[in-house]
Structure 1
């Protein structure tokens, strides 16, 4: 097998090889697609421990490590396997032609129409550091199910994971089917500007704009999975203690470094203090200590840690109240307690930027419309969360907000739905993967019309030379019925 490519020229050469192979072979059978997906499944299963070790090393520091092996296995290996197995087991059904009703009167004369879902060619997939396997292999599942080939670009922020992915994919998969490109931002830019048949990027909104701009030069369709400040609304009917427990779980997951991690909590003003207390208590129950806690995930590197800390410093300098779950945490590692930033001003950094770390903004509200209006003041988020058991209030939240996805009375669960699409809207991205919608994302919907043997247009006076009444015939059909 060929080694991973490491230069812009190598990317272009590998892409050319894949596209030529695609043109030679054309659309491949369900059996071939299943076999290709199974090869990826086998790779992840056979090398699960080594991949978990690599992710731990990239996040790691000190004796307690930076990311628990079990979490890496759950989030990245099992998450990827779920997507791959679901696609493998359902692609035959997804591949079936979709019959459509032909237009009148050709339907009465034996005309037929259908939509075929055909592969596009070669898909470029740019992964991210916070879920370094999942953001590569979950979209790959849909791309392979649709009959495509792919080139993966792991994040350079997690170099040991990227190197191992490159080694394993190069050793076990045919580069004409699945290849790998590794390198820094220069390689990433070359990757994004290459003439793929589809491009997938997971990451920040700012970089997403650059990816889309580069792809536009070659008219490459894009799937962008971005982020934003995902809000949580605690309604009047919410079970506050249970909601705080679930929030503590969510904010502790991957150290808050998840694209759908909650960023802003809206809570009724008269419940503010009890929610602050409950949130801190529950976080402490899950994570009794910080610096030496093997269950707590560290910031991936010093740069990302300092970015989050700068938001908190800015808030403190503005006189904003900040509550910490563990005031005694030493800060000698990259692990941090949960910091609650209470009602910061709109122009503060923590309100302007996605946190992507162990902090949460808490904003009090008097009426639900205030929270909804505040949400509308920012770009549309990748996720929105509502806690409450009032059906009318829930409907108001769902009808008057827009986000990539929603979880009600919990957090982040919607993204794990293999049979439902995962994607953003507006500033949080475009397009989907997962399930049937992911299969459609990486397919070209090709309409096929089969004409009947008999063509009646001449008898109807529809063909030249047109008779005197032709215009009147056409005008008679211009109706409002």
Structure 2
């Protein structure tokens, strides 16, 4: 375990290094980003093996798709656009102050702390680091204690590819995470549950440390009456059961016209069969991480059964003490008071709820907490526009799920209960930069006329 003194010592080391190079050149930043990509590209097999060991089983293709691919793409995007992002921006000056000039300098913050979750232990630790390094900062990462093998590999490789004053990984348990959150970073990014996010925000507030919180929530998928059910079912199934539902932007529940609910259930059944022909025994179907998470999910499901919900299992079950894989399961029409509708599912259970129509589904989403993502299956432009105007969410995807996360030019972040702030691409560069105002007064100017004693005629002329 890394103790508080060691954490503070490493922060001091990075802060001192930043003081000697407070505005790294584009070449330096590109080099750091290239090393981050090489660290991932050259060791992708070791990364997949470590994550597989921590999960009990993680489909290798899912690790490549969700851990390796987004990182390499983010680095490529940042390196390509870095000079433009770094360039000072001109700002318009009111005519009363001309011929003065103004511009905005994008200045590195200093040292950025990242607290990463367990569900995607590689990409969610390093994607924020891409933005922080592009912005010219030093980076400290606290990976999850729930994935010890992956965290150890990340620390080992970071030490090989980076000087500790550039980027470092501090492993440890929950006490280490609490001490990490209490450090006086220049910015702190946390990805995880809302409950722990509140604790992180309180710890950061003691130092007036700005925070970015990526918290997830209950992401809905609306299937309108004009949607192709087979297509909607296939895309929802992909988004839901990737990583066995342990994705912060996975479809949490489906809202569909009640009349189409039986047909949708059959379409989902067919999609799951096509994706995982051997059920939970398929190598492409991942395990649920941690006994505590599996027991929580079983408890949520038992409650739904006890309250009369129809439960449809789409794969063979394994006894909890004999395997770590939980099958895809549909929970039909759960009531709002049940745990499965009160808290983020974060697993392979999918509530499917029949509603009156698209407007009823939209009203339900608009009146609930703002989710991290919102999925809608409709080809009607008017419905799409209405959804954009009447709802709030971190992101919106039409006729698909998840893939907006892999577009580096799109900001990624929540709103309200689902998070605070966004990163990725230029939005991430700005998140980890200070927008410094610069005002350059011309040698010959007229502002001296505004010095005391004040001239009333001049104030009237200026409309003051």
Shorter-chain TM-score: which interval?
over 0.9
Judge conservation of contact 2:155–2:171 (CA < 8 Å) in 1.
Answer: yes
User: TM-score, normalization: structure 2?
Assistant: 0.96
Q: Which residue of 314, 323, 331 maps to 1:341?
A: 331
Q: CA deviation at 1:54?
A: 0.5
2:50 aligned residue: 54
Q: Please tell me whether residue 473 in structure 1 is matched to residue 462 in structure 2.
A: no
Q: Distance in 1 between matches of 2:92 and 2:241?
A: 51
Aligned to 1:97: 88
Q: Counterparts of 2:130 and 2:168 in 1: how far apart (Å)?
A: 14
Could you say which residue in structure 2 is the equivalent of 1:63? none
Q: Assess if the C-alpha contact under 8 Å between 1:280 and 1:324 holds in 2.
A: no
Question: How far did 1:145 drift?
Answer: 0.5
Which residue of 443, 447, 450 corresponds with 1:457?
Answer: 447
Distance 2:318 2:424 in 1: 39
The residue number in structure 2 matching 1:138 is: 127
CA distance in 2, matches of 1:56, 1:78: 17
| Partner of residue 426, structure 2 | 436
User: What does 1:206-225 correspond to in 2, within 5 Å?
Assistant: 206-225=195-214
CA shift, 1:475, in A, is 9.5
Q: How does 1:24-35 map to 2 (within 5 A)?
A: 24-35=20-31
Whole-Å separation in 1 of the counterparts to 2:461 and 2:65: 65
Distance (whole Å) between structure 2 residues aligned to residue 7 and residue 475 of structure 1: 65
- Per-residue CA deviations over 1:318-367 (Å, capped at 9, x if unaligned) read 11111111256666422122111111111100000100100111111113
- 1:75 paired residue among 66, 80, 83: 66
For residue 19 of structure 2, the aligned residue among 16, 20, 23 is 23
- Alpha-carbon distance in structure 2 between the residues aligned to 1:140 and 1:168: 15
Q: Where does residue 242 of structure 2 map in the other structure?
A: 253
Match of 2:252 in 1: 263
Q: Deviations over 1:29-55 (max 9, x none)?
A: 000101111111121122221111100
Tell me, in whole angstroms, the C-alpha distance in 2 between the residues paired with 1:455 and 1:281.
74
Q: Do the aligned partners of 1:126 and 1:202 also contact (CA within 8 Å) in 2?
A: yes
Q: Tell me if the contact between 1:380 and 1:402 (Cα under 8 Å) persists in the aligned partners.
A: yes
Secondary structure of 2:324's match?
coil
2:398 to 399, 404, 408: 408
Listed as ranges, the gaps of 5+ residues in structure 1 are 61-65
Residue number in structure 2 paired with 1:158: 147
Q: Deviations 1:123-156 (Å, cap 9, x if unpaired)?
A: 0011111111111111111100000000011111
Q: For 1:383 and 1:240, locate their aligned partners in 2 and report how far apart those are by CA, in whole Å.
A: 20
Q: Which runs of 5+ in 2 are unaligned?
A: none
RMSD of the alignment, in Å? 1.6
Q: What is the DSSP-based 3-state SS (H/G/I as helix, E as strand, rest coil) of the residue aligned with 1:105?
A: helix
1:292 paired residue number: 281
- SS of the aligned residue for 2:413 comes to coil
What is aligned with 1:192?
Answer: 181
The offset of 1:453, in angstroms, is: 0.6
Tell me which moved more, 438-447 or 359-368: 359-368
Q: How much does 1:105 deviate?
A: 2.8
The answer to whether the 8 A contact 1:280-1:338 is kept is: no
Partner of 1:106: 97
Tell me if structure 1 keeps the 8 A contact 2:366–2:390.
no
1:385 aligns with 2:375: yes
Tell me, yes or no, if the aligned pair for 1:265 and 1:360 is still in contact at 8 Å.
yes
User: Counterparts of 1:93 and 1:220 in 2: how far apart (Å)?
Assistant: 28
Post-superposition shift, 1:87?
1.0
Matches within 5 A, 1:268-287: 268-287=257-276
